[in-house]
A and B are shown apart, each in its own frame.
Chain A
Amino acid sequence: MKVEQISIFIENKSGRLAEVARVLGEKGVNIRALSLADTSDFGILRLLVDNTDIAQTTLKENGFTVNKTEVVAVEVPDEPGGLCNILQVLDDAQVNVEYMYAFVERNAGNAVIIFRFDEVDNAIAVLNGKGVSILSGEKLYSL
């Protein structure tokens, strides 16, 4: 089960992040999770939102470069060692992680880890094989 993520190219200039947040807010798009990777010149903002299509169209209309990628959202107990267990599973199966980020669910006491894999289908098969809980898009957006 894969989840759609949008990525946005952001120049290192003041106000660009705020502009992304503003145009999404105006369209009623809610951001569920985000991560910002930065270099000296530019950053890549990755977002999970409740309506990927509207977010993508809105940002494009406002002149941003946007693309869509598929990521995997994994639910783990929010307790010491929770992340380690998952990473161990992936490492044992020699699945490479491109990048990841995480957030904590408000009520359920779980953490959600977002993974970007090169070989996403293989990664899902490995996680399923170990009984790891993978969240669907619907579930994730409604958290």
Chain B
Amino acid sequence: MIWNDEFETLPREALESLQAKRLQQVAERVYATVPFYKQQFDKAGVKPEKIKSLDDLRRLPFTLKQDMRDNYPYGLFAKPLDQIVRIHASSGTTGKPTVVGYTKRDIENWTELMARSFTAAGANRGDILHNAYGYGLFTGGLGAHYGAEKIGASVIPMSGGNTKKQLMIMQDFGSTVLTCTPSYSLYLAEAAAEEGLDIRKFKLRIGILGAEPWSEKLRNEIEEKVGIKAIDIYGLSEILGPGVGVECIEAQSGLHIWEDHFIPEIIDPISGESLPDGEQGELVITTITKEGIPMIRYRTRDITRIIAEPCICGRTHRRLERMCGRSDDMLIIRGVNVYPSQIESVLMDIEGVEPHYMLIVDREGTLDTLEVQVEVNEQTFSDEIKVLQGLSRRIEKEIKDLLGINCRIRLVEPKTIARSEGKAQRVIDNRPK
């Protein structure tokens, strides 16, 4: 099913000319209304009226998360506060949060894009949508809520936490669609088992999961353990919140990014050079309809590639490969770039190994060390030491084969790695800064 046939299947040529027109408008608008952008454009020597085609986008300067912090809280808003109807902020693990504001029309657009996303994911009127994204400053809860109401689903505004109650409501209310982080969906399955419940027997049929990078292997695990179709949804508060892109249930392969509202680019995260479609790099997004806080070439830090090939679902909007990690999460261990998701995929490949893991990075002398903590479960446990040591050695070897670095596996007792009810914390870096 397609929510907005006209725009979601717009022929590429028409879509691109719409993008170019909207790009030109937004460039002029931010230059006129946001002092930061005027300064940035001037510094780069670009006049907004020179931005005429999509190729001209490359002439514009990047916007960084730090720029948002430097202009905290309202410095990047392009509309006066009397036109801002909603304010959200990122969790901001370090220092001040990043603040975003929405006009009434921004909220309408967001709702439209979430309605498209839910529909693409297979949710419909008649679904009972259990929304376990956090409500509050975080965009997940309310973003999903508005979109779900728009498609006519019955929304249960659960928010995060209180897992036992989540399970009770889910079972008693007959929830059919679950929205939360991928790691929380697994945690729900585990918690259900502890309560003596089989979550696969619940009425859940679809999980629309996002807010953290996850691998294809983890998807298989979730589909198996939770008994749902697991759909990847992408978003970030700086650009919109959830609903920037989503997988369609038809292909479950890459996330359609709504190109009538956003222009995606891929760049080399080190040099900042634009990369052609198909090459992996950092995702940069320009918002072309947003009023409250438009973003010009915002560096998302998410690592992906653009899939330009047409999709079987009929949507013409290009796809992003599922995020392989964040350039922020990228660890440099003995000079090798390591994403936690790569280690996750190795673990998922080994029969019986749990998807819960923790990476401990440290330094001994001048050498970086990597310890991977893996939980032992009934399937991998043996009464013979050689079997467990064989498991450790196998994981070490596969990580070495994939990444070229030596690591040390530490087997730990079940459920000792912290489960998260929000974004999973996978790395502890103890190296001196």
Contacts and interface: CB of A to CB of B under 8 A. Distances in A.
Overall SS of chain A's interface: strand
Contacts of A116: 383-384
Contacts of B381: 7, 9, 65-67
Contact of A65 (B376, B384, B389, B410): B376
Nearest to B411: A42
Overall SS of chain B's interface: loop
B376 A39 contact: no
A41 interface: yes
A63 B382 CA distance: 16
Contact of A69 (B383, B385, B389): B383
B414 A41 contact: no
Of A5, A7, A46, A65, which is in contact with the most chain B CB atoms at under 10 Å from its CB? A65
Interface string B368-412: 000000001110011111001100000000000000000000111
B290 to A, nearest CB: 48
Nearest to A98: B384
B431 interface: no
Interface residues on A, range: 20 to 34
Nearest to B414: A65
Contact of B378 (A44, A66, A69): A66
A44 B383 contact: yes
Given A11-B416, A65-B414, A46 B383 contact: yes
Given A11-B412, A63-B413, A42 B388 contact: yes
A99 interface: yes
B385 A7 contact: no
Contact of B385 (A11, A44, A63, A64): A44
Contacts of B377: 65
Contacts of A99: 384
A5 B383 contact: yes
A67 B383 CA distance: 7
Interface in A15-65: 16, 37, 39, 41-42, 44, 46, 63-65
Contact of B410 (A9, A41, A63): A41
A7 B383 contact: yes
Interface string A98-120: 11000000000000000010000
A46 B410 CA distance: 21
A5 to B, nearest CB: 7
B87 to A, nearest CB: 43
Contacts of A39: 385, 388-389
Nearest to B410: A41
Contacts of B411: 9, 11, 41-42
Contacts of B389: 39
A63 B411 CA distance: 15
B346 to A, nearest CB: 19
Contacts of A5: 383
Nearest to B386: A98
B241 to A, nearest CB: 37
Contacts of B413: 9-11, 16, 63-65
A7 B383 CA distance: 5
Nearest to B375: A65
B47 interface: no
B164 interface: no
B59 interface: no
B415 interface: yes
Closest 4 CB pairs of A and B: A7-B383, A65-B381, A69-B383, A9-B376
15 contacts: A5-B383, A9-B376, A10-B413, A11-B416, A39-B389, A42-B376, A42-B388, A42-B411, A42-B412, A46-B383, A64-B414, A65-B376, A65-B378, A67-B381, A67-B383
Given A9-B388, A44-B383, A66-B378, 10 more contacts: A5-B383, A9-B376, A9-B381, A11-B416, A16-B413, A39-B388, A42-B412, A98-B384, A116-B383, A116-B384
Interface of B: 376-378, 381-385, 388-389, 410-416
Interface of A: 5, 7, 9-11, 16, 37, 39, 41-42, 44, 46, 63-67, 69, 98-99, 116
